Amino acid sequence: MLPAVRPGADPTVAALSALPHRGAFGAARPAVLSALALPPAPMPARHGLRPLKAWRYVGVFAEELMLCAASVRVGPARQAFWAVWDRRRGRLWERTVRGRGGVRLEPGRVAVRDGSVTIDLDLAETAGIETVCRTGAAYAWTRKQGGIHAAGHVRLDGVEIAVHGRAIVDDTGAYYARHTAWRWSAGVGTAADGRDVAWNLVSGVNDPAQGSERTVWIDGEPREVGPVSVAADLSAVDGLRFTAEAVRARTENLIAVRSIYRAPFGTFAGQLPGGPELATGLGVMEEHEAWW
């Protein structure tokens, strides 16, 4: 039940009191949330003193390779990154740049042009699951799509690789606190009984006991799972075990914005939290600490 709203009360305060919210993106939201700027409408550059932190991240996982690409905004600053883990040749390609660089993330498409690396992928996007959660006196919106089909080509130093995999898409717009830290896991796979699975699991942000972004997709159907514990060494999420194959890591100090992260690609085994036992699993783990 949503809290009662006193006549004349600040509608933003009432909306924040009604959180968390979880539902399909594009479906009707509780009327009280109309006081918050939420996608597809633009989100303001600031909420009080907190600048907007926003990004689109796409991770694609296949037997031949795993890759990610992202476009990030923190206040007025822009950053983009991409990485490709060529599993057959055992080589990690990656780059992080200020501004947009050669990364273009559009609805249904990933395109990267950076030196001898090109990525051209089509995504079979869906509505996805959105959540709106409190973060102190502000709020965070995120939409996750899990296990959607991705197909296209990647060219690495003249070698073209056809890609047919499945993807995780993370769209986020949030007014997180100056110091924010989280651990996260996302991936795709096949359950022991043959069903397709995907997951998005997090600890540290957007993780209330109910109404969180934590989701396991089984044959495309999303279900929320309970709170999870992510190992400090990123070796497991509850009973889901992780083996790293290639590690992306970066420490950045731009005075106003600082961040430290580790984000390995790898394989998963064991049982999904709130879900089935895995037969196969590919994906990422991440530990991120930011001052922004």
- pLDDT tens-digit profile of 229-276? 999 999 999 999 999 999 999 998 887 889 999 999 999 999 999 999
Evaluate if residue 290 carries a pLDDT over 60: yes
Who contacts 236 (Cβ-Cβ below 8 Å, separation ≥6)?
Answer: 230, 242, 270
| Cβ(214)–Cβ(182) below 8 Å | no
Confidence of residue 2 (pLDDT cuts 50, 70, 90): very low
CA 135 to CA 165: how far, in whole Å?
34
Element (H, E) at 112: strand 109-114
pLDDT tens string 45-98: 999 999 999 999 999 999 999 999 999 999 999 999 999 999 999 999 999 999
For residue 249, what are the β-bridge partners? 262
- C-alpha 241: how far from its chain's center? 19
For CA atoms 163, 143, 237, 288, give the dihedral sign: positive
Task: Compute how many other C-beta atoms are within 10 angstroms of the C-beta atom of residue 125.
Answer: 16
Evaluate if residue 5 carries a pLDDT over 80: no
User: What are the tokens at 4?
Assistant: 């009662």
Counting beta carbons within 10 angstroms of the beta carbon of residue 159, is it exposed (0 to 12), middle (13 to 18) or buried (19 or more)?
exposed
User: What are the tokens at 224?
Assistant: 């929320």
CA 28 to CA 246: how far, in whole Å?
41
pTM above 0.85, yes or no: yes
Strands 138-156 and 117-123, bridge-based pairing: antiparallel
User: What are the tokens at 197?
Assistant: 């699975």
Q: Which residue has the tokens 């550059």?
A: 45
Task: Compute how many other C-beta atoms are within 10 angstroms of the C-beta atom of residue 224.
Answer: 15
Tell me the three state secondary structure of residue 16.
helix
